[in-house]
Amino acid sequence: MDLYSYFYSLVKQIPPGRVSTYGALARALGDIRALRACGVMLSQNPDAPRIPCHRVVMSDGSLGGFTHPEGVKKKIERLRAEGVSVENGKVVDFHEILFEDFHTDYPLKALREEQEKLKERVKLEDDFSLGAVGGVDVSYSGRWAYGVLVIMSSPFEVDMVVRGKFRVDFPYIPTYLAFREEPIISSLLSRFDRELILLVDGNGIMHPRFFGLASHVGVKNDVPTIGVAKSQLLGSVVEDKVFVNSRHVGYFVKSGRKRGIYVSPGHRVSLETSLEIVRQYLKHKNPEPLRLAHIYANEFRRSG
């Protein structure tokens, strides 16, 4: 889904002489968790002032930032040209001119519902032939994503490296990472025609909806996947096992003195096997296919 275009269509609905807020736009998208993403998308506005980002302010009427060579000064100038008074860095009569009546289909709500349907297809039993193991990572620069898939037949042998550069249509929003990265990962997977077990830089069932990026990628592509995350998104760790509401969803694997990774099955792999495979490929903090994919993705991004 192109959430950027949808978001900019919402911003265009704010009439001259009115203002709206980052929070109101996030709610119009369908989830207040998109608040920070709204700020990011406004900062990347491709067509100002036709997309009137100057009409978006903070929830208390203060102006917030403005991506323009003249900064907030230009924001004030544009607002005043439309009849909006600004004094001491705040919109005068803010609540009287506040616009929140967006025409919207609440796309994030629809995406949550899609995930709820997809997660019913997750399998947590081993359903694969052990062969190649892949690791995938994505590095970003503005609206561009640089994805790399590394395929290995052993912890010491790289068989293939697949790279791809993609235009980003979905910003980072907490718990919606799959809708940002799954299309990129799926495109990389389509260039490899043999079965593999895929390690994903993200969570499997260790997720608020028990359906993180690894599970999403696995179900959408019908491939066995394992989530490997650098931080604990939720749950509690008891003797290296991670539990969410008494449900065992993954493992904490120590690597180094204090650091570690969080492993959870995504799709077509059991809890125990996900841990076993990650440990087989663990020479550093991250399993080798993911570690190399991360390095190669950053190199790819820097090379443009």
Q: Which positions are annotated as active-site residues?
A: 53
Distance separating alpha carbons of residues 147 and 149, to the nearest angstrom: 7
Backbone angles phi, psi at 198, to 5 degrees: -105, 125
* Helix, strand, coil percent values for the chain (each to nearest 5): 35, 25, 40
Q: What phi and psi values does residue 186 have, to the nearest 5 degrees?
A: -60, -40
b/e sequence 92-106, b meaning 16+ C-beta within 10 Å: eebeebbbeebebee
d(CA 271, CA 200): 15
Kindly write down the DSSP assignment for every residue of 213-256, as one continuous string.
HHHHHHHHHT--EEEEESS--SSEEETTEEEETTEEEEEEEE-S
Contact 22, 59 (CB under 8 A): yes
